[in-house]
Structure 1
Amino acid sequence: MRSRLVWGAALLATVAVLAAQLIGFLVLRSWLLNRVDQQLDDFFLPEQAFSRTADHGPVPPPPDAGAVRLPSDFRVTFYDAAGRKHSTFGTGAAPGPSLPESAGRLGRQPTTVAAVSGDGRWRVQKKSGPGRTSYVATLPLDTVDGTISKLLWLNGIVLAATVTGLVVLSRWVVRIGLLPLTRMERTAQDITVNDLGLRLPDTDSRTEIGRLGTVLNTMLDRLEQALREREFSEARLRRFVADAGHELRTPLTTIQGFAELALRHAERPAAARREADRLIAQNAERMSLLVDDLLLLAKLDQEPAYRAERVDLLAVAADAVSAAAAQGGRHRIRLRPLGTAADADEGDLELAETTGDPHRLRQIVANLISNAVTHTPPGTAIDVRVGTTTAGAATGGTDRPGRNSPAPPLPQGSAICVLEVADDGPGIPPEAAERVFERFYRVDPSRSRDHGGSGLGLAIASAIAQGHGGRLELETTPGEGSVFRLVLPAAVAFPS
C-alpha cells in the first residue's frame, strides 16, 4: 500500500508538471512566433528601393544597390513582375532560407521554411512591391529555437528534480501517515501469540484508522468474550459429566453391592433379604429420578416447545401451598400478596396472569417451596407472595447488586408477574448464592444425598423460566433469609 501511494502520488505529480510545462511551452513558443510575425508585418520597403525602366516599369534593385538598407537579421528576396526570383539582400553568415523560384508558390501569411543547409529555420512572409513585383521578408528563428531548446532542457531538469523530491517526500509523509497502521500490525502480531488482552492503541473517531481501530477492538472484545464463554462452557460440561458420574456412581455401587451379596449368600434371613431389596429399589428409584432430571435438562437445552395458555400464578401458588401444607410439615407456609408483611393483607391478593405452560410453571413453584422446606430448620416461616408490577431494581426483573440470576434482565419498566418464595431462615452465603443455579451445585453437599436432591432442581427451574421469556432470581442475606423470585412477562390480551 505504501508503494502504491508513493508511486501513485509521483505519477499524478508527473502528469501535473508535464501538463503545466506543455502549456508553458506552447504559450512561449506562440508568443515568440507572434513577435517574429509582428516584425515581418511591420517591415515594408519604400518604392525608392526599386529601379525603373521606360519599358518595364519598376524592377527589383540589383544585388549591389546601395539604396537598400535592411535591419539586422532581415533578409529580403525580390521577385520580378513575372514572378521569378530576382535577387536577395541581407547580411549574415548563416545559410539563408530555402525559397521557391516562383513567387506564386508563396502565400500572404507568415510561414516557416527550412534553411538552405543545416538545421536552421526561417520565418518568411510575402509582400507586394511596385507594379507586379513582390518581395519576401525573412527572419531567422535561431533565437526562438534556442529559447525553446533551453526551456525544454530546463523543464526536463525541473521535472526530474520535482519527481525525485516528491518520491522522497511522499515516502516520508506516507510513512508518518501510516504509523497507526504499523502499530496496529505490531499489536496484531502480538495478539496472534495468544495475548488476547492487547488492544489497538489508535481509536480516534475523527480519523479512518481510528474508527477502524475501534471496530477491531470491539471485534477483539467479542472474540475474547466468546473464547471465555467457550472455555467456561467446556469447563461446565466437564464438571457436569463428572458430577453426573459421581451422582450415578453411588446408587449403582449400592445396587451392585447388594445384588452381589444376594447372589453369594442366598441363604440369608428373609428380613435381611427384604432390607437389601428395599435399598436396591430405593437407589434404583433415586437413579431413575436423576436420569429423568438429566433428560429433562437436555430437552430444555434444545429449546422445547411450551404450551401457550393463560396461566394465573395466584392459582398456581395456592395449589402449591395447599399441597405443601397437606404433607404435614413443620414449616409455616402462607400465601400472601406481593409486598412486605407489614403492608400486605391476604385480602389484597390479586390475579397475576401470564402466558405459558401451566404444568412447567407449577413445577417451578413446587421446586422453590420444596427447597425452602428442605434447607431451612423446622418452624421457619415461608411466605409465597404473588402480584403484578413493573420491572425495576426494587421490584425485580433487572440486575442490581445482591441479586443473582443466570438469565438476562427484562426491559426496564415492562409489565411483569412476580411469584416470590421467601423464608426467614439462615440465608445463603454470597459465594454460594452466585452458583446456586449451576447444575449439581449444592449449598450443603454433606447432606445433599439424603435431604437435598441431585442439585438439578434450580437449574431446571431457571431453564423453564427462561423458556417463558422470564427469569429466576435470588436475593439472600446470611442470617436473614432468602427470597427466590420468579419473574414472567404479564399476559397480553388474547385476540377476540
Structure 2
Amino acid sequence: MTLLAATAVLTAQTIGVLVLHSWLLDRVDQQLAEFILPQRAFTDLDGQSGVTAPGSVSLPSDFRVTFYGANGIERGTLGGGEPPGPELPASTSELNLTPGRQTTIGAESGDGHWRVLWGDGADGTTFVVALPLDTVEDTMSQLLVLNVAVFAVAVVGLIAVGRWMVRLGLLPLTRMERTAQDIAAGHLGLRLADTDPLTETGRLGTVLNHMLDRLQNALRQREASEARLRRFVADAGHELRTPLTSIQGFAELALRHPERPTEQRREADEQVAKNAQRMNHLVDDLLLLAKLDQEPEYRRIPVDLLSLAADAVSAAAVRAGGEHRITLNPLDPTAEDSELDVVVTPGDPGRLLQVVNNLLSNALVHTPSGTPVDVRVGIGRADAATGGTDRPGRTSASPALAEGTPICVIAVADQGPGLPREEAERVFERFYRVDPSRSRDQGGSGLGLAIASAIAQGHGGRLELDTRTGSGCTFRLVLPLAGAEPSRGSAPEVLRRG
C-alpha cells in the first residue's frame, strides 16, 4: 500500500511539474507571439557598428532582438537583459529556425536557455526576438526540490502510518494467536474474544470458536468412551471371574477328594454346570452387544406390535405365577375412544419381542410381589407426554426424535418403588445394576437394558425411562411409524392368539 501511495504521489507531482512547465512556456510563447517590433528599429540601425543608436528604440522587459539584413548577414542587436545572450549564428543560412514558430536554444555560455521566434522585417530583412527562460528554469528547479522533499516526507509518513495501520488491523489476529497458544498449552476452555460478524477477523473468530467447541466435545466424548471401555472391560472381567472362580474351586475340590460321596459330587457338578451356563449367557450377551455395535442389518418385515405385546404379556404372566397382575391397555386409557388398536410397523419381530420381554422381566424382578404391571400399546406423535423427546425426569441412551414425528409405542409401567435420578441416568449402561448386592441369579449381569436400547436405536427409535423415587418406572419402546395406520376391531382376535 505504501508503494501504491508513493506511486500515486510521484505521478501527481510529475503531472504537476509537466503542467506548470507547459503553462510557463506557453506564457513566454504568448509574449513572443504578441511582440511587435517598431518599424523605425530597422532604420535606426547603424550599418557600420551593427548597434542601434542610443535612445532610439527601447524594448520592454528582457526582450532581445537580433537583426539580419537582406543578404542574410547579422546587422546588430536591440534590447537589454543580463548576459550571456542567445547563441545565434552570424547568418541566416546557419539559423536552424522555422519562421513563425517558437524554439528553445542555448545561451552563448553557461547552461541557460532562451526562447526565440524568427520573424520578417522591411526590405527583405529578418529578425529573431528572444526571451530568457531563467525565470521558468528557476521556478521549475525550486518546484523539483520541493517535490523531492514532499515525496520523501510522504514515503516516510506512509511507511510509518502503514505499519501502524497494519499492526492495528492485525491486532485481533495477534490476540487470536495468543489465545491459540494458551489453548495449545492446555487451557481448552478458552475461546476467541473477537467475534464481530461485521469484520473478517470476527467471522473467523466465530468459526474458530465453533470448531474449538466441536473439538472439545469430541475430546470429551473420546474420554468418556475410553472411560466406558475401561469400565466395560473391568465389569466384564468381574462378571466372568465369579463363575470361573466357582468352576475352578469345584474342579480343584474334585481333584483333591476323588472319593467324595455321590451326593456331594452331584451337587458340585450341578454348580459347575450352573456357572458354566451363566458364563455362556454372559458371553452370548457380549457377542450380541458387539454385533449390535457393528450396526447389524435387521429384518424389515411388518410387525404387529399389539400381537407382539400380547405374546410377551402371556409369557410374563406364566413366569410371574400370580405374584404380579399384568394388564394390556391402549396407550392412553383415559381417552374417550380409547381401545386396543393393531399397530403395524416394519422391523425385526424377534429382536423387538426380546426388548419387550426384557422390560417385563425387569418389572417382575425389581418390584415387590403384588405390584401391578401395565403394558400399553398405541400410536401418536413424538412429544413430552407421548414419548420420543427429552424432558425433565426422562433418561435414554439414544438421541431424541424430532418433535411431532409419527411414532408407535410399547410402554411397560409398574407401580413399584421407582428409581432416584442418579440411578435412572445409568440404567442403560452396560453391566450397571441398580442393586449391586442382588444375586446374579435374580438381577442378571446388567446387560439386558443395554441390549434393548441398542436394538431400539437400530430400528431408528429409542428406549427411554420415566421414573422418580416412589412413583414407579415406565419404560417406553418408541419406534418411528412408517406409514402405518391403526385398524380398529381386531384386538380381541390378537388377544385370543396371545
Fold shared by both chains (TM-score > 0.5):
yes
CA distance in 1, matches of 2:20, 2:407: 88
Seen in structure 2, the aligned counterparts of structure 1 residues 356 and 84 have a Cα distance that, compared at 3 Å, is farther
Equivalences for 1:154-165 in 2 at 5 Å? 154-165=146-157
Aligned twin of 2:70: 81
Tell me the equivalent position of 1:332.
325
| Cα distance per residue 1:56-113 (max 9 Å; x no partner) | xx99993233433222211111222233433233323432222344266311211111
1:257 aligns with 2:249: yes
CA contact (8 A) 1:387 1:419 kept: yes
How much does 1:175 deviate? 2.8
* Aligned equivalent of 1:3: none
Who is 1:387 aligned against? 378
Encode CA deviations 1:133-163: one digit per residue, 9 max, x unaligned: 2111111111101100100111111111122
* Helix, strand or coil at the partner of 2:86: coil
The one-letter amino acid paired with 1:81 is A
Indicate conservation of the 8 Å contact 2:106/2:114, yes or no: yes
- Does residue 64 (structure 1) correspond to residue 52 (structure 2)? The answer is yes
Instruction: Give the whole-Å Cα distance in 2 for the aligned partners of 1:153 and 1:39.
Output: 28
State the 1:493 CA deviation.
Answer: 6.5
- 2:240 corresponds to which residue? 248
Q: 2:203 matched to 1:211?
A: yes
- Which residue of 421, 430, 433 corresponds with 1:439? 430
Partner of 2:203: helix, strand, or coil?
helix
Matches within 5 A, 1:50-449: 50-51=42-43, 62-66=50-54, 67-100=56-89, 101-102=91-92, 105-107=96-98, 108-329=100-321, 330-340=323-333, 342-343=334-335, 348-449=339-440
Contact 1:448–1:454, Cα closer than 8 Å, also in 2: no
Moved more, 19-28 or 324-333: 324-333
1:120 CA drift (Å): 0.7
Structure 1: how far apart are the matches of 2:307 and 2:439? 31
**Partners of 2:299 and 2:236 in 1: CA distance:** 30
Unmatched runs of 5 consecutive residues or more in structure 2: 486-498
Structure-1 separation of matches of 2:446 and 2:360: 15
Q: Alignment partner of 2:407: what SS?
A: strand
Q: Distance in 2 between matches of 1:307 and 1:173?
A: 67
Q: Is the 8 A contact 2:47 2:75 kept in 1?
A: no
CA distance in 2, matches of 1:94, 1:306: 115
Q: Distance in 2 between matches of 1:440 and 1:459?
A: 8
User: Please, which moves more after superposition, 182-191 or 384-393?
Assistant: 182-191
> Are 1:423 and 1:481, in contact at CA under 8 Å, matched by a contact in 2?
yes
> Which SS does the other structure have where 2:438 is aligned?
helix
Q: Is the 8 A contact 2:320 2:364 kept in 1?
A: no
| Aligned 8 A contact 2:52 2:76 in 1 | no
Report if the CA contact (8 A) 1:417-1:488 is conserved: yes
TM-score (norm 1): 0.93
Name the CA distance, whole Å, in 2 between partners of 1:328 and 1:176.
Answer: 78
Of stretches 146-155 and 105-114 in structure 1, the one that deviates more from structure 2 is 105-114
- Residue ranges of structure 1 left out of the alignment (5+ in a row): 1-7
Larger deviation, residues 485-494 vs 463-472: 485-494
2-structure distance, mates of 1:472, 1:114: 106
SS of the residue 1:445 aligns to: coil
Is the Cα–Cα contact under 8 Å of residues 59 and 133 in structure 1 kept in the other structure? no
Indicate if the aligned counterparts of 2:52 and 2:77 stay in contact, CA closer than 8 A: no
TM-score, length-normalised on structure 2?
0.92
The answer on 1:466 being equivalent to 2:454 is no
Indicate conservation of the 8 Å contact 1:50/1:61, yes or no: no
Q: Secondary structure at the match of 1:285?
A: helix
Q: Is the 8 A contact 1:59 1:81 kept in 2?
A: no
Post-superposition Cα deviations, 1:392-412, rounded to whole Å, max 9, x if no partner, equal 111111111111011111111
Query: d(CA) in 2 for partners of 1:493 and 1:334?
Result: 24
Q: Deviations over 1:42-66 (max 9, x none)?
A: 112122211399xxxx999932334
Instruction: Tell me if structure 2 keeps the 8 A contact 1:312–1:354.
Output: yes
Q: Residues of 2 paired with 1:128 and 1:308: CA distance?
A: 117
Residues 290-325 of structure 1, C-alpha deviations (whole Å, 9 max, x = no match): 111111111111111111111121111011111112
**Letter of the 2:449 counterpart:** L
Q: Which deviates more, 319-328 or 151-160?
A: 319-328
In 2, Cα distance between the equivalents of 1:306 and 1:61? 131
In 1, Cα distance between equivalents of 2:63 and 2:123: 23
**Offset, 1:289:** 0.7
Q: Sequence identity of aligned pairs in percent?
A: 65
Asked whether the 8 Å contact 1:51–1:61 carries over to 2, the reply is no
